[in-house]
Chain A
């Protein structure tokens, strides 16, 4: 069965610092991988997705993620955190059917 693990339920970074949110998946076949963001009192919206094209994926708001097959990882990064990045971030994995499996989420706090 597919699964996804997000390391760290809460991450705090200073404004201007690097953001790194970790996501690892388990799979025996190539996955489709997604990062979604949820701002307070809103639904989820797509940040970026990997669908077997380029391994470095650029998303909205300056975020990017790199698919590393050898490490079964899809970590999310942003070079310089902004106060508006405070939100909850979800990694999700799928394998060619309609269902996604979501991680448990990482709440990102930005310290002024």
Chain B
């Protein structure tokens, strides 16, 4: 079975801190994604990556950056956390073939920015 893990289930940070959210998948998937999930808004795509060192902006990239130095690892970075970034963050991965493939999700990281 595909396994997608996220480094933390819960995080509490202060405004202005730099925050790293890590995601690792073990199935050699090319595509990886970061979403944020907010009540009433569903899932919104922040960034995705289709290969090592490649990244593309999603629908809400402002205030975020990403890093993919290894195929299995995709990091989301909040350069200077703000309270409006309090949310649930979900990582997902999928094989190279495009949209019709299942996305496999991690358990999520619930981030609280004080």
Q: Report A's interface with B, CB cutoff 8 A.
A: 6, 9, 32, 34, 36, 41-46, 49, 51, 90, 94-100, 102-105
Would you call B106 and A43 a contact (CB within 8 A)? yes
Q: Are the CB atoms of B103 and A100 closer together than 8 Å?
A: yes
Q: Are B107 and A103 in contact (CB under 8 A)?
A: no
Given A90-B42, A104-B41, check contact A43 B105 (CB 8 Å). Answer: yes
Interface residue total, chain B, C-beta cutoff 8 A: 24
Which positions in B face A, CB cutoff 8 Å? 4, 31, 35, 40-45, 48, 50, 58, 90, 92, 94, 98-100, 102-103, 105-108
Q: Which residue of B lies closest to A102 (CB)?
A: B43
Cβ-defined contact, A51 with B100, below 8 A: yes
Residues in chain A near residue B90, CB distance under 8 A = 43-44
A-B contact pairs, 16 of them (CB 8 A): A36-B105, A41-B107, A43-B90, A44-B92, A49-B100, A94-B98, A96-B98, A98-B31, A98-B48, A98-B94, A98-B98, A100-B99, A100-B103, A104-B40, A104-B41, A104-B42
